Structure 1
Amino acid sequence: MKRFYQILCIVCGILALICIPFRPLWFGLAFFTTLCGCTGAMWLLIRVRDTRTDKWSAAANWLVRIGNVVFVLWLVSVAAVEGLILSGAHTDAQALEADCVFVLGGGINGDQPTETLRNRLAVALDVMEQNPDAHIIVCGGQGDDEDYTEASVMYNWMVSHGADPGRIIKESKSRNTIQNIENALELCEKNGWSTDNVAALSSGFHLFRTRHIMENCGLEPAAIAAPSGNPAMHILFCIREYFSIVKLVASGYW
């Protein structure tokens, strides 16, 4: 196991360094740095256990046993949750016929959407073309490091690519997925639109959690999947989604 933790520590350290220059990968920086520290600690504990014969060796032995159990349980939980995330990465047939589609925010760079968000908006354009009666609500407020609301950037991008502005409404106050759904529902009620047939549009990795939030809001869970884009980003987004689901469960919302 010492060699396993040693190799994993080095690999995570290298991956963390790779993430440093790229702001969209800063979650990966935090994740791989933390994992590097944990595996490095296990590596050192095993070394203490194997090279000393005093009380420190006994203490290290117990800590190594506990660490191994915790690590295995964590890996099992990751495998289980990631399986659920992947199982939800599909489009529901009824969602394509929704009366209203909530397009969930996915980050902006200045006044332009990120690649992930552009993919969602491109799918939203296709939905508008295939379902000419559908209304669109673009969802996303303004982050602390952003100059515009995500909704305004989303709206401008869609209109500049041929979307009918009269069919799009901006939801510009939300800061997370729960608020995306809840605030979009309020806009539906404000405009007198029925919420019996609505859908959420987001990246595939995001849809398992999105469907659950829709259920908690009293909606029929219907979702439309957009491609994630860059494979490396997709992997990091899936890892981040694991922690988002764990956070949701820990908060009691699940």
Structure 2
Amino acid sequence: MSLRKKLLVVAGVFFIILLIYFAFLHMKIREQINSGVPKSTEFIIILGARVKGTEPSLSLQYRIDAAADYLKLNPNTVAIASGGKGPGEDISEAEAIQIGLIAHGIDEARIILEDKSTSTVENIKFSQKMIPDNLNKGLLVTNDFHIYRAKLIAKDHGLKVEGLPAKTPTIAIPKSYLREYLAITKYYLIKPRES
């Protein structure tokens, strides 16, 4: 077999392994999306996403909408809006979430702001400190592709929560899932060193 053929075989095998690995990750993500949402809970943490000036991106808007729908059905549930202010953002992601929830008719008194975080890890770590002492049962609200990794990170921080999946904008699905496969892979590689 020529060197060129050997390289093609190796590349083909690598590609098949990569496809199988991505299929495994996709299965884990889908399991969490389909795992069911508790009908009532004591608190929810809405994870931040990009804000364009003062307007939430479509991904963040879907998180706000899903959270608002849940809060309307559970009037005693407290909401923690999580996310700092990044480049191109005139307000923090937490403030954009708060404004969006209030526009849906959610009482401002039910919303706690965590406006310092800049990553999913910080969203969860900083929000955890803001959960009122007497509350134990919670939900993470984020786009469906993100639930699996967000719950893993929460578990690492001793926070046992379920997930409330919001829609992912159709146009963003391929990019979002590919980025998430890479983010999960990074999580798998780094986590053992951090624990």
TM-score by length of 1: 0.70
Equivalent in the alignment of 1:78 = 22
Equivalent in the alignment of 2:133 = 193
1:85–1:208 contact (8 Å) kept in structure 2:
yes
Deviation at 1:138, TM superposition (A): 0.8
Question: Which structure has the larger Rg?
Answer: 1
2:137–2:161 contact (8 Å) kept in structure 1:
no
The answer to whether the aligner puts 1:251 opposite 2:190 as a matched pair is: yes
Q: Matches of 2:71 and 2:35 in 1, distance apart?
A: 15
Deviation at 1:84, TM superposition (A): 1.1
How many pairs are equivalent? 193
Equivalent in the alignment of 2:67 = 124
Q: Provide the secondary structure at the position in 1 that maps to 2:85.
A: coil
Q: Comparing both structures, which one devotes a greater share of its residues to helix?
A: 1
1:90–1:224 contact (8 Å) kept in structure 2:
no
Equivalent in the alignment of 1:236 = 175
Distance 1:99 1:121, change over 3 A: same
Give the letter aligned to residue 238 of structure 1: Y
Aligned with 2:114 (options 159, 171, 176): 171
Equivalent in the alignment of 1:10 = none
Deviation at 1:80, TM superposition (A): 1.0
Identify the structure with bigger relative contact order (alpha carbons < 8 Å, sequence gap 6+).
Answer: 2
Q: Matches of 2:63 and 2:94 in 1, distance apart?
A: 13
Q: Percent identity?
A: 25
- Listed one character per residue, the Cα deviations across residues 14-50 of structure 1 (whole Å, up to 9, x for unaligned) are xxxxxxxxxxxxxxxxxxxxxxxxxxxxxxxxxxxxx
Gaps of 5+ in 1: 1-56
- Listed one character per residue, the Cα deviations across residues 121-152 of structure 1 (whole Å, up to 9, x for unaligned) are 11111122111111101111122333321111
Gaps of 5+ in 2: none
The answer to whether the aligner puts 1:224 opposite 2:164 as a matched pair is: yes
Q: Comparing both structures, which one devotes a greater share of its residues to strand?
A: 2
The answer to whether the aligner puts 1:88 opposite 2:32 as a matched pair is: yes
Equivalent in the alignment of 2:5 = 61
The answer to whether the aligner puts 1:104 opposite 2:47 as a matched pair is: yes
Equivalent in the alignment of 2:89 = 146
Q: Matches of 1:132 and 1:169 in 2, distance apart?
A: 15
Aligned with 1:211 (options 151, 165, 183): 151
Deviation at 1:58, TM superposition (A): 4.0
Give the letter aligned to residue 182 of structure 1: K
